[in-house]
């Protein structure tokens, strides 16, 4: 087993470890680090689709939302089953993943036969549509959502329930982000990655070269959605211990995900992590300096970076290290 | 059984008939030239064969099988390879990766892995003489280098039929001769049928194709052995703009 192919993961895992350790050991920094982990994970997951195919999914947050519901539904239905123990959380994660993957299969199967811009337009309705489905049809509690704080306390006792929401949910985000990076690298080095590069650069030429573009777009889409499901399940439902449709189907997160991927460098491995960290830091810092105005001030800052650095930070860095030893590691 | 057979293929764009009831056949290992100025329907014909366009009338048969409705990527997997008149590299990928993509998704499709595809890419890059540039970003190549890369990429697909679209346009005569020699070798060694499409009857086609089809306004104007077509006064007048002289084929 050639270990060299995993070198690109070194800076990534080191960064994640550093963030985790800072949050763990420095008083008061756990929440900020958790925020960075959330944005890094979000970026890493979204990059698998946006970065690798070049397609924009404006309904992406729906997968996070479904992931949250997966966790909430699992906990609220199973909390009385004693022998499951911590398995409830695992089931919650898997259910969140499955629900997101299912929606993405349905949406992707139809919408990904469309090219570029048409696909983007088609996805705008997905998130809003789902939100109104849940509230209108009173699905899963309708607009009142699902609250699982009580269920968690009953199933695990107050102390464990607390640590689940305030520590384990966030730690899971680090793990999910690390996993997303691994999967991204695996795709990049396999036929899937080459197919995605080809269709991203020139979809028609790729089809003539023998690439079944629809198939590979769907693979990237489902993978990206599955990770979003995991992030929603842990970073939202488990952490907040409640799920409201108005919160989890909020389009702002889709926009943030797009910005993070582009800022860091779409299609790169390190990019989303760097983008997530920078965006998270800026957002948190601005929230302290000028609360309520974060998004307003943030947008022009990021627009500036995107106009000046279209390849993203890592995209530019990759050009600089081409031909040097760092090339193997900045991917 | 012919490798490729077009039966009365017609393609219309609104009121314009770009290809008008064209029929042709090519056998395994044959070299065919298609000649005609811009607007004669050459590129449209190629797009019909490779599956980018669907004809309004007629059928496309490959190895006896009706592929008229098949999408482009399926045809590639069956063995139809193609270059583009204006090269379409996957710019952010290296030269080597570009050619490897051809290998990965061509007729060898499911049977080779990424590593083997990269090795195959090296082989074809050496064949066309680009091995020194293999790690360069393909977007930064010169136009002639891009054309050579297109060719290597198409060959790496291990096609049974290769459609060359003005593959030698813009190249100095020495390079054209070398490339023609290369194509002849590849044709014999790998048994590929090659259709070479050019705007004028040039040294590229004259020394290479056994037979030539002349297209004019979407219709098949003439089909004949190359030497005959070269000396046919009607063809010469249309495409050379003046009566032919001895020595035109090699000039």
pLDDT at B111 over 90: no
pLDDT the model gives residue B221: 86
Please indicate, yes or no, if residue B152 is contained in any of the structural domains: yes
Same domain, B65 and B128: no
Please indicate, yes or no, if residue B251 is contained in any of the structural domains: no
Split into its structural domains, chain B has a count of 2
Strands B4-13 and B57-62: antiparallel
Strand-pairing partners, residue B66, are B61
Give residue-wise pLDDT tens across range B57-79. Answer: 999 999 999 999 999 999 999 99
Label residue B202 by pLDDT band (50, 70, 90).
Answer: low
Please indicate, yes or no, if residue B102 is contained in any of the structural domains: yes
Give residue-wise pLDDT tens across range A110-143. Answer: 999 888 888 988 898 888 899 999 999 999 999 9
Label residue A323 by pLDDT band (50, 70, 90).
Answer: confident
pLDDT at B39 over 70: yes
pLDDT at A234 over 90: yes
DSSP H stretches of helix in B109-158: 114-128, 143-156
> What mean pLDDT is predicted for residues B227-239?
76
pLDDT at A25 over 70: yes
Q: Is the reported ipTM for this assembly greater than 0.85?
A: yes
Given the structure tokens 């790729």, which residue do they identify?
Answer: A206
CA–CA gap between residue B121 and residue B127 (Å, rounded): 10
Give residue-wise pLDDT tens across range B238-249. Answer: 665 555 555 555
Q: With contact defined as beta carbons under 8 Å apart, do B24 and B46 qualify?
A: no
CA–CA gap between residue A213 and residue A199 (Å, rounded): 6
Please indicate, yes or no, if residue B207 is contained in any of the structural domains: no
Same domain, B134 and B171: yes
The size of chain A, in residues, is: 331
Instruction: Nearest by CB to B106, from A201, A210, A213: name it.
Output: A210
Same domain, B182 and B82: yes
Largest CA distance in chain B: 54
Instruction: Determine, for residues A211 and B84 on separate chains, whether the beta-carbon distance falls below 8 Å.
Output: no
pLDDT at A108 over 90: yes
> What mean pLDDT is predicted for residues B25-51?
89
Q: Which helix (H) or strand (E) holds B13?
A: strand B4-13
Q: With contact defined as beta carbons under 8 Å apart, do B105 and A213 qualify?
A: no
Please indicate, yes or no, if residue B234 is contained in any of the structural domains: no
- Count the helices and strands in chain B (H runs, E runs): 9, 10
DSSP H stretches of helix in chain A: 9-25, 30-53, 61-78, 87-111, 116-136, 149-163, 169-189, 191-201, 203-208, 213-231, 239-240, 245-248, 252-264, 271-289, 294-308, 312-321
Strands B193-198 and B31-35: parallel
pLDDT the model gives residue B238: 66
pLDDT at A167 over 60: yes
Domain that holds residue B58: 1-30+42-70
Instruction: Determine, for residues B157 and A189 on separate chains, whether the beta-carbon distance falls below 8 Å.
Output: no
CATH of the domain at B192: 3.40.50.300
pTM listed for this prediction: 0.92
Strand-pairing partners, residue B25, are B5
What's chain A's average pLDDT? 92
Spell out the domain ranges in chain A: 3-328
Instruction: Nearest by CB to B105, from A190, A204, A210: name it.
Output: A210
Q: With contact defined as beta carbons under 8 Å apart, do B124 and B99 qualify?
A: yes
Give residue-wise pLDDT tens across range B142-198. Answer: 988 999 999 999 999 999 999 998 887 778 888 888 888 888 888 888 888 888 877
Label residue B114 by pLDDT band (50, 70, 90).
Answer: very high
CA angle A170, A176, A181 (to 5 degrees): 135
**Pick the residue with more confidence: A106 or B180?**
A106
pLDDT the model gives residue A241: 94
DSSP-derived secondary structure for A243-297: E-HHHHT-THHHHHHHHHHHHH-TT-SSHHHHHHHHHHHHHHHHHHHSTT-HHHH
Q: With contact defined as beta carbons under 8 Å apart, do A194 and B101 qualify?
A: yes
pLDDT the model gives residue B250: 44
> How many CA atoms are closer than 13 Å to the CA of A260, on its beta-carbon side?
33
Same domain, B95 and B166: yes
Given the structure tokens 């690109």, which residue do they identify?
Answer: A8
The beta strands (E) that lie in B30-90 are given as 31-35, 57-62, 65-66, 80-82
pLDDT the model gives residue A212: 95
Same domain, B79 and B186: yes
On chain A, the residues whose CB falls within 8 A of the CB of B84 are: 205
The size of chain B, in residues, is: 251
Please indicate, yes or no, if residue B122 is contained in any of the structural domains: yes
Please give the C-alpha separations between residue B43 and each of A44, A184, B37, B87, B165, in angstroms, as whole numbers: 42, 38, 10, 14, 8
Q: What percent of chain B has pLDDT over 70?
A: 91
Closest to A180 in 3D by CA, of A216, A212, A220, A211: A220
How many angstroms separate the CA of residue B92 from the nearest CA in chain A?
A: 7
pLDDT the model gives residue B239: 60
Label residue B251 by pLDDT band (50, 70, 90).
Answer: very low
Chain A interface, Cβ < 8 Å to B: 189-191, 194-195, 197-198, 201-202, 204-213, 267
Instruction: Determine, for residues B76 and A189 on separate chains, whether the beta-carbon distance falls below 8 Å.
Output: no
On chain B, the residues whose CB falls within 8 A of the CB of A267 are: 92
Domain A3-328 has CATH 2.60.40: no
Please indicate, yes or no, if residue B227 is contained in any of the structural domains: no
pLDDT at B235 over 80: no
> What mean pLDDT is predicted for residues A228-240?
96
Same domain, B58 and B76: no
Give residue-wise pLDDT tens across range A242-298. Answer: 999 999 999 889 989 999 999 999 999 999 999 999 999 988 888 888 887 777 766
pLDDT the model gives residue B171: 80
């Amino acid at each position: 087993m050639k270990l060299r192919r995993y070198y690109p993961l070194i800076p990534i895992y080191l960064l994640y470890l550093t963030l985790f350790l800072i949050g763990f050991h420095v008083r008061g920094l756990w929440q900020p680090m958790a925020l960075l982990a959330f944005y890094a994970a979000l970026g890493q997951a979204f990059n698998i689709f946006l970065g690798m195919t070049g397609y924009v999914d404006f309904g992406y947050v729906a997968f996070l939302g479904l992931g949250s519901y997966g966790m909430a539904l699992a906990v609220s239905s199973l909390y009385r089953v004693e022998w499951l123990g911590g398995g409830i959380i695992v089931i919650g994660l898997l259910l969140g993943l499955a629900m997101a993957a299912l929606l993405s299969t349905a949406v992707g199967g139809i919408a990904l036969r469309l090219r570029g811009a048409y696909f983007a337009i088609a996805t705008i309705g997905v998130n809003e549509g789902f939100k109104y489905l849940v509230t209108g049809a009173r699905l899963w509690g309708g607009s009142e959502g699902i609250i699982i704080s009580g269920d968690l306390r009953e199933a695990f006792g107050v102390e464990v329930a607390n640590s689940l929401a305030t520590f384990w949910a966030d730690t899971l985000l680090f793990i999910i982000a690390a996993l997303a990076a691994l999967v991204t690298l695996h795709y990049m080095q396999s036929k899937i990655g080459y197919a995605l590069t080809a269709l991203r650069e020139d979809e028609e030429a790729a089809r003539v070269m023998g690439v079944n573009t629809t198939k590979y777009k769907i693979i990237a889409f489902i993978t990206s959605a599955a990770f979003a499901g995991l992030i929603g399940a842990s970073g939202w439902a488990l952490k907040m211990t409640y799920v409201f449709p108005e919160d989890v189907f909020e389009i702002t997160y889709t926009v943030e995900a797009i910005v993070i991927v582009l800022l860091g460098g779409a299609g790169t491995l390190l990019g989303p992590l760097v983008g997530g960290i920078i965006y998270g830091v800026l957002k948190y810092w601005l929230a302290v300096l000028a609360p309520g105005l974060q998004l307003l001030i943030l947008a022009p800052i990021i627009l500036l970076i995107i106009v000046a650095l279209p390849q993203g930070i890592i995209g530019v860095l990759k050009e600089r290290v081409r031909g040097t030893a760092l090339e193997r590691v900045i991917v | 059984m012919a490798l490729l057979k077009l039966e009365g293929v017609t393609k219309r764009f609104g009121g314009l008939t770009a290809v008008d009831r064209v029929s042709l056949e090519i056998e395994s290992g044959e070299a065919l030239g298609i000649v005609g100025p811009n607007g004669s329907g050459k590129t449209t014909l190629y797009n019909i064969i490779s599956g980018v366009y669907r004809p309004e009338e007629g059928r496309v048969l490959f190895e006896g099988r009706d592929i008229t409705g098949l999408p482009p990527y399926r045809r590639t997997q069956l063995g139809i390879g193609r270059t583009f008149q204006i090269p379409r590299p996957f710019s952010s990928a290296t030269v080597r990766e570009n050619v490897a993509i051809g290998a990965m998704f061509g007729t060898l499709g499911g049977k080779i892995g990424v590593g083997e595809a990269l090795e195959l890419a090296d082989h074809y890059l050496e064949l066309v003489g680009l091995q020194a540039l293999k790690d360069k970003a393909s977007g930064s190549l010169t136009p002639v280098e891009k054309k050579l890369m297109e060719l290597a990429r198409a060959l790496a697909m291990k096609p049974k039929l290769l459609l060359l679209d003005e593959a030698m346009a813009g190249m100095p005569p020495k390079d054209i001769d070398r490339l023609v020699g290369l194509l002849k070798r590849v044709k014999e060694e790998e048994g590929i049928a090659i259709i070479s499409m050019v705007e004028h009857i040039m040294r590229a086609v004259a020394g290479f194709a056994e037979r030539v089809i002349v297209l004019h306004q979407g219709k098949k104007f003439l089909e004949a052995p190359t030497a005959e077509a070269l000396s046919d006064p009607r063809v010469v007048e249309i495409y050379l703009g003046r009566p032919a002289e001895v020595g035109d084929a090699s000039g």
